[in-house]
Amino acid sequence: MKKLLLFLCLGVLIVSCGDEESKETSPERKVDKQVEKTNEEAPKKQGFEPRIIKNQETGEYIIQVYVPETATHDEIYKTIMDIQLKKRKNFLNDNIIIVAYSDEDFINKRLIGTHAQWKMEKGATKYMKILQRTEQLTPENKKDFLEYLQIIEALQDSGDDLKKAKKEAEPLMKAKHPENYKDIIQKAEKYLYGIENEKTEEEKLMESAENPKSQ
């Protein structure tokens, strides 16, 4: 029943979006060509200001920051280091985690960063993870990844843990994308949850010291 309700809700959302799109592209709609041209030429806003939220369950503060999609390792490191230097005096006695995203649409209460995580407890680093991306996120991939994330979040809101939510999300994605749902899920998993499987900076440094020739 839970899966059916989720599927129906997603279906209604898609139909609604389709109706809006058909209205906007109707030949009867009058368009101011000059305004349309101006809108096309206007630069799209990128990034977002740092945000601080508190996890009410753990008491942990989460500082969310922006980095470009294909930012280098050093650029990501500098971004999270800069925000830590600016905010550290306010959180010396708290547990915090600085997380980095390239797109605010992926900011989610359960998705702790897509590009970086830096967890500190009372000023001391517990771990730092940085995941550099080498390719731009396409609009189609973003749409698919957000759809997958929203299904998982809905399942978690209904009581599932992450593992169970991912398992139950698969048939829902299959119903929506029967031909390529496995490929979508695989890519979405790598993008959304890749940071969780990334080695810490300390682990990478130790590996580098042990295997200098492999670098």
pLDDT < 50 positions in the chain: 12-45
Domain membership of residue 85 as a residue range: 51-134
- Are residues 156 and 184 part of one domain? yes
User: For 47-74, how does the pLDDT look when each residue is reduced to its tens digit (9 = 90+)?
Assistant: 788 999 998 888 999 999 999 999 999 9
Do 64 and 117 belong together in one domain? yes
Final residue of a structural domain among 114, 134, 154: 134
**What is the pLDDT at residue 81?**
96
State the total domains in the chain: 2
What is the per-residue pLDDT for 47?
77
Per the domain annotation, does 45 fall within a domain?
A: no
Provide the pairing of β-strand 116-121 with 95-101: antiparallel
104 located within any domain = yes
Q: Which two tokens stand for residue 135?
A: 């390719």
Which pLDDT does position 168 carry in this prediction?
97
For residues 86 and 116, state if they share a domain: yes
Please tell me the predicted confidence (pLDDT) of residue 57.
83
Residue 157 lies in a domain: yes
Same domain, yes or no, for 120 and 159? no
| The pLDDT of residue 31 | 38
Residues 153 and 180 in one domain: yes
In terms of C-beta distances under 8 Å and separation of at least 24 residues, what long-range contacts does 1-10 make, across chains too?
A: 2/155, 2/158, 2/168, 3/168, 3/171, 3/172, 6/151, 6/154, 6/155, 6/172, 7/172, 7/175, 9/154, 10/147, 10/151, 10/172, 10/176
Per the domain annotation, does 178 fall within a domain? yes
Instruction: Write down which residue in 89, 119, 134 finishes a domain.
Output: 134
In a domain, 26, yes or no: no
Are 59 and 93 found together in one domain? yes
Q: How far apart are CA 215 and CA 203, in angstroms?
A: 14
Q: Do both 177 and 109 map to the same domain?
A: no
Q: Are residues 60 and 127 in the same domain?
A: yes
In this structure, are 153 and 130 located in the same domain?
A: no
**124 and 147 share one domain:** no
| 128 shares a domain with 56 | yes
Q: Which pLDDT belongs to residue 18?
A: 43
Type and span of the H or E element at 63: strand 61-66
Per-residue pLDDT, 2: 52
Q: Is residue 29 part of a domain?
A: no
Is there a single domain that holds both residue 153 and residue 185? yes
Confidence (pTM) = 0.76
The verdict on residue 35 lying in a domain is: no
